[in-house]
Structure formats: structure tokens, C-alpha cells
A and B are shown apart, each in its own frame.
Chain A
């Protein structure tokens, strides 16, 4: 198996938590992994992405080539569209629909949603609301991870393992809340497939 994922968002939205969870799950499964992150200047509210590659064979490039990503996983709708040149034919876009508006010329939400709805293979969800419904408003990232779960080449149990490895130090309660968020996202995606 080989899955190339572009994680997208805005500096400060915490896409690296998603990357770290997938990374943990992949490492627990003895898969190869490369994950290129953006640090520095753009973390101040600019657009940020992370290239995450997992495979059962050695991986060469740290960067994903254009036209070859299997998944764009975005925690912000406009940012999902920014990386379309990287998506392969038949690849999935999984995006949160809650805009992060920190620029004067941010397009109106309807224009963005129309464009997202035109994509052939997508899952769009209000991860903020779903996270709130699970009782943990701060877990929208993990909800997004759950929504991507059917496409990652990792099972939901393996992702739960990743959450346990990553959040284990913070205590049982934190682990449980995140696993709940993971399943909420997962169930949403399943219902749309």
C-alpha cells in the first residue's frame, strides 16, 4: 500500500496533530513514512501544508509530486482548493467547511462551497459542529482525521492506536474524547459513501 496525503490549513490551526496521529499509527504498523512540515514564517496565519506519505515500501521524495496525491485533507475550505494541482485523478478531497477568514479579500462562503461541491470525489463536513456535539469543541482536527479514515489505508483501530500513542501521556479521558471525535468523523464519511 501507498498513500500520499496533503494536509492543508492555516498557520495555527494545528494540522500537525493530524499528521502526528497518522504518523504514529503508521509507525506502530511498521510502515515507512515521510512527513514534510512547514515551520517558520507562514505559521503566523499564512497558508500551511504538510506532505504526508506512508507506504509498505521505502519512500524516496519528501515532497508529493503534482497530480499524484491520493487525498487532500483540509481543515479549511479555501485551503482545500489551493492544492488541487497535487490531487491525482480519482483522489479524494476531505474538507472542513468552516472558513478561517483572516484576509480582507476572502471569497464568500457560497462561492467556495459551490466549487467544492463541483469536485467529483469529496467529503465536506462541519467538523467544528460535529466536535461540539461530541462534547469536545477543540477536537475538530480529529473529527477531520476520522472523516479521512476510510481512505488512508489504515484501519480505524490502527488510528485509535495512533491516538493512544500520541495522547496517552495526557490521560485516559483525553484519549477517550479524541477516539469519540475520530468515530464521529468516520461515521459521517461512511454515511456519505
Chain B
């Protein structure tokens, strides 16, 4: 047993390594990124030859993990919550195929949207796919759930969803590790058609999944992560899910006077909840994310008991929980310090000084003056900060890859020329298929692939696009005369502006590729070079 100081994300990575994993598959996304980064820096993972290269997107990551499971070994796919939307097709179907080697899917949710475009709750995906969901309340549980999750997956023949939220993912605490398990040998599934989801087989597999539900529920009832903790004050019983349990205990210094059901494994543990229902006059549900448990309880207990939570306004409907919100819901007094002085101004994030995206926007904005505002569709990455002053350069950011395809639709509607601005990593994540659509229709759009050779927004991970973009565009069929590579530097402003102007005037598909390395990764590379 060893004690390590780990982020929640790192605890998951170490737990999986110690639990006998043979492959990690992921695309970066806050707050999940540090799982893969930890593995990539782990000597142990290197010695064991555990694959840990970034995938092109979450769907390819998920499918690779399913492939490893097919071949009998333990695998993990990690992503941020919206990444699970991208991987959803594979994810949901993996519960129908079942597994061979254990399969854990980690979804890192971001309530309060610290770095995301929504705060969707991945537990619903677990419910939807009819599989067990694990939601650690602290770093130690995160470790253990990754360590033991493969066996749960193998036992019930389903993937397991491990759901964390930003606070746990990015908070550090001491973690005790367990003995290392050995990796599994490669082995084919016993049933050679298990993974062939033809309707006849899928129907059979689905029945098996439905039959398994009773055991999966029983596992929740018996799980050591779910607990009934008695308390004398039965006026209110409390259900605390995941890290909400900590906020509750924080308020009572570890001794809650009310009966508490702690939930860290789903489906909900009906045994504990029935007991709480029978002993208490009302129930308060604390959960970080959407009111999933609260909704279930309202249906489950449809017997007139008062259930307090996010749905009736006792807790805020959106945003992450914290100790103060929990205190308020329990009518506990809490002190608040002085208000924030009025002189304190907002400090929004912004593009780094010297960032190439700045030069791209300066050139593009000027080239677009004759056409007027409202025609730039963008995407997700550092360049999304171009929406803010002083650039005010873009008009959309919806989901990864949407820039090119939205520009196609808008151009079809008559907004010509329409412009798409997308980063290199986002382009290979999900822009390439959209560009193929544009090639086929010869859409009158200008696609600007602002290529900084990295995945900047999430901290500079390797980009699958590096050195490949021009050839990808040619291969997809973009007319080479309208593939324009430029160097986004201030001294090239006039020239770059003129190139964009020319392509805006062309009534067909153009791709403009400004190429200059992200200055943050450039500094890192330089430092590393100096060292060696």
C-alpha cells in the first residue's frame, strides 16, 4: 500500500493501471484530460506498454476501447461530458454487445460550465444504456472504482460508466493504492457472434441485458459505495450523491443529525431509499448535475411525501453544488465574508499575446468589411475567444465540427459567402466529414483552418492534424488552386488579408490554412530542447 497525492483524474488513471488495464483511449476535454496525461507520463504504463495515444475524437476512442474489450483485455475510454454525445452511438450499442474484457467509460461532467458549452449530466446516459454507473465522492473512491470497475463490467457483461464532475476531477488528495492486478491475456469472445448486432442477434443480446437488470440493481443495493447512515432527526432524510455527500458532511463536521443515504453506484439503491422513505417525514436530494435521483424518487414514492431538491427550487436548478448551497437548503446558518468590492472587474479569458489566431482574425475581419457582419461560423478551441472584444469576429460556436457544416447550410439559405473558422484538432475531430459535404456541393464558403499544430484550449496535447491538413484537404477533393496556406504574422497582414479577400470573391469552396505554432507549445518545446 502506497499513499499518493493525486487529482481525481489521476486517481482514476492509477486505479485503472493497478486494476490490470491494457489500453486507454481518449480525446482531450476539460475536465477529463488529466487522466490520459497522467498515463502518458507514467513510467509504469510505459514499461507495461499500455497504449495511451490520443484518438482523433471520442467516437474513435470509444470504438477502439470496445475493440480491446472484444479481444479479451481491459480497456478504458475517457472523455468530457459532451464527448459522450459524439461517442453515444458506440456507447449505447456497447451495452447491447456486452463486453469480453472489462470496459470502463469515464465521462467527466462540468456543472456550472467552467469550460463547457452545457452542463449535461452523463448519469442519464448510463440509465439510457441500462448499465451500472459509478460516481465517486472522493479521490480514494475514484481510485477504487477504476480499480474494481473492470470486474463489475466483466461480471455483468456490460460497460461501466464512471462519472465524475469538475471538482473531483481537478482536486488533489491523498490516495492509498492497492496491489497490482495482472493484465488479461488476449482471448476471443466465447460467442463469436456476440459483437455482431444484426437484428436477430441484437434482440437476443438486448433480452440478456434486460434480464441482467435485476442483478445490476441488486449490486447497487449491496454496493459498499452506497450506504444508509442513521441519524436521530427524522424530520428530514437526506440523499447525497457523489461529491454532494462531502458538502453535506462539511456542514456537520462529519456528524449529520439526519438519516443519510449516500449514493455512489447506480441504478439507485432501492433498499436504502425505501428505508429512508419509511422513517422520514420529508426527503432532501443533493446531487451535482441534473435532478436524476430526485425525478426517480418523485415517481418511485408517488405517495405524497415531500421531496425537496432542484425541481421544487429548494436547491438551484442549475450550477454545481457547494457547501453554502447545501447549508441554505438545510436552513443552517452560514457566515459570508464581505461582498466583492465594486472596483473588482471581470477578467475574462483571452487569446495569448502573440497568438496566431489574433492575426487570423485581424486579416479576416478586414477582408469581410465589404460583406457586412453575421457570416462567420466558428467552432470550439482557443479561437472561440475571438467572439469577445476586441475581435467580435465570430457568430457561432455550437459543437465540435459545426463551423463548416453550419456554413454550408447558411450558404444554401443565401448567406454567401459564408465563412467557417475551425482549429486543426477540431478539423480532424469532426471537420473532415463536413468538408467532404462542402466538396460534393461545391459550397460557396471559405473554410479557415487556423492551424497551430496543437490542441491549444485543453493545454497543448498532440494534434492528429499536425502536418497533414493540406493533404487531407486535397484528398477530400478540394481544388488545390483554392487551398491557400499562409503565415499569420503581423508583418504579413496585408498579404493575408488579400488572400482571404480573393477567396471570399470566389464562388465555390476555398480552404485557407494559416499555419503558425501556438506560442505556448512553442515555448514548451524550446524549454525542453534547452534541457536536453
Contact = CB atoms under 8 A, between A and B. Distances in A.
Contacts of A51: 171
Contact of B345 (A33, A88, A106, A115): A106
Interface stretch (A56-64, A126-134, A142-150, A181-189): A56-64
Contacts of A78: 343-345, 347
A139 to B, nearest CB: 17
B334 A67 contact: yes
Given A39-B33, A40-B30, A61 B323 contact: yes
Interface string B322-342: 111001000000111111110
B96 interface: no
A42 B114 contact: yes
Contacts of B313: none
Contact of B250 (A61, A79, A85): A61
Contact of A65 (B174, B322, B343, B350): B322
A112 to B, nearest CB: 6
Contacts of A174: none
Contacts of B115: 39-42
A63 B247 CA distance: 8
A29 to B, nearest CB: 12
B345 A107 contact: yes
A17 B316 CA distance: 34
Nearest to B246: A60
B172 interface: yes
Interface in A17-57: 23, 27, 32-47, 51
Interface in A141-184: none
Nearest to B250: A61
B241 to A, nearest CB: 15
A61 B172 contact: no
A79 B167 CA distance: 21
B440 interface: no
B340 to A, nearest CB: 6
Nearest to B33: A39
Interface residues of A, number: 53
B188 interface: no
Interface string A86-105: 11110100000000001111
Contact of B348 (A34, A46, A69): A46
Given A41-B349, A47-B347, A85 B339 contact: yes
A63 B115 CA distance: 18
Contacts of B172: 23, 33-37
B518 to A, nearest CB: 11
A65 B340 contact: no
B458 interface: yes
Contact of B324 (A10, A23, A66, A102): A66
11 contacts: A35-B171, A38-B170, A40-B458, A41-B115, A44-B350, A46-B347, A47-B346, A47-B347, A63-B167, A66-B337, A85-B339
Given A32-B174, A67-B336, 16 more contacts: A11-B349, A23-B172, A33-B5, A34-B171, A39-B34, A42-B115, A58-B254, A60-B246, A62-B167, A62-B171, A65-B322, A66-B324, A66-B335, A85-B336, A85-B340, A107-B344
Interface of A: 10-11, 23, 27, 32-47, 51, 58-69, 78-79, 81-82, 84-89, 91, 102-107, 111-112, 115
